[in-house]
Amino acid sequence: MTSGALSVRTLLVALLVEGCVGEEPLAHDGSSEVDLDAGIVDSPTPLDRDAEYDSGFEADARGADASGPIDSAPMDGSELDSGPSDRGPGPLSEALPSGGIRIRGMSTPLTRDATTASDFDEDGLTDSFEAELLEALRPVLVIAPMDPALTDGSAIQLVGRVFAASSDPLVVRALVMIGWREDYGSCGLTAHHGDSERFAVELTASAAKDLEITRIYTAAHEGTVTDRGRLFEGPGLAETVVGSDPSSGTVRLWLFPSERKHATYASVALCEGAFVLPCLRETCADESTGVLVVPPVTNAGEDTHRQLDALDALGFPGETAWGTADFCGGLGGSGCASPVRDKLMSDPFEP
């Protein structure tokens, strides 16, 4: 067998393993209940060609004169809210020179001790704080303009879980599933219904109502032989992209989903350097060419006290946040993506 034939065989095995075996269940059980008594990348000038799709979100095709990312709204679920409506003026997010974000002036109590604030999921963090934090952590997704998800009526939604990993100091983690209707595959292979990607953020309370991002995790082909998930902490946070959301001026984390596959990367360089073999190689749009989307987020609560389970109103009929079945994007079938609960329960910050 020639070396060329061996390379092709190696490529096909990798593709088939990823596409046929799918995403393995994630290893860590992130359930937790605690007794609680880079420089900045300036947002580019957006493009003058807006397009609205029947996908539960509005997208902005980028260029010289556009208005920037458009906040998306849930499909038939605009009434859904992950917290009470009286959230106050909200926090101020600012980029840190060393990378990451500081969220200052949370307007609601962080923990339920010494307060009567609601804590529906009974994890020690108030509902209003969890809602406010998830809102602040909504990322700007820089989507490749030729990605079919922008034109086929797909929903793109965030489903999050917030919990305390430590009470002294207060360390909070947010695990957020990025839900896509389909993974469109590469080279005509590995496509499947449903695509449950994710990112995760760890924050440490630096003052009474201030939090700083200390670690970030991005998932890419999570649980497969081609896993390119990555953890950023310390000096590594400077590798992530932080900039203003041009539609609101809010400082957000910017993430770069690969075209068609939607693996989540912290930068274009990390995306396009992930693989060298054809068909495995990833393509990501940069800030000047991508379509910017800031998807809505819904708090799932905890498995034992669910604030959200059925995902029908988010554009994924028949899917659930806490079930054990594969996530098929509301399209049915089998051999789909990992269950949403795996993305909410597996803690990437635990060894």
State what percent of residues in the chain have pLDDT above 90: 48
Lowest mean pLDDT among 12-16, 238-242, 333-337: 12-16
Determine contact, residues 228/266, Cβ cutoff 8 Å: no
Determine contact, residues 141/257, Cβ cutoff 8 Å: yes
Identify the DSSP state of 185: -
Which tokens is 143 given?
Answer: 């989507």
- Would you kindly state where each structural domain of the chain is located, as residue ranges? 3-345
Q: What is the pTM of this model?
A: 0.76
When pLDDT is averaged across residues 271-296 and rounded to a whole number, the result is 84
Nearest alpha-carbon partner for 122 in 27, 33, 12, 240: 33
**CA–CA separation, 91 and 104 (whole Å):** 6
The pLDDT of residue 69 is: 41
Quick: pLDDT tens for 243-270: 998 888 999 999 999 988 889 999 999 9
User: Would you say residue 235 has pLDDT above 50?
Assistant: yes
User: Would you say residue 49 has pLDDT above 50?
Assistant: no
State what percent of residues in the chain have pLDDT above 70: 69
Bond preceding residue 69 cis, omega within 30 of 0:
no
For residue 5, give every residue at least 6 positions away whose Cβ sits within 8 Å of its Cβ, in sequence order, or none: none
**CA–CA separation, 327 and 192 (whole Å):** 10
Nearest alpha-carbon partner for 295 in 263, 253, 347, 235: 253
How many Cβ atoms are within 10 Å of 210's Cβ, its own excluded?
Answer: 17
Name the band, by pLDDT with cuts 50, 70 and 90, for residue 227: confident
Q: What is the 3-class SS of 125-165, one letter each residue?
A: ECHHHHHHHHHHCCCEEEECCCCHHHCCCCCEEEEEEEEEE
**CA–CA separation, 265 and 35 (whole Å):** 34
Determine contact, residues 170/111, Cβ cutoff 8 Å: yes
The larger pLDDT score, comparing residue 121 to residue 171, is at 171
Question: Coil, strand, or helix at residue 123?
Answer: coil
**CA–CA separation, 202 and 217 (whole Å):** 9
The pLDDT of residue 236 is: 96
User: Would you say residue 116 has pLDDT above 80?
Assistant: no
Quick: pLDDT tens for 66-94: 334 434 433 333 322 333 333 345 688 99
Integer CA distances (angstroms), 225 to 221, 315, 318, in order? 8, 30, 29
The pLDDT of residue 73 is: 37
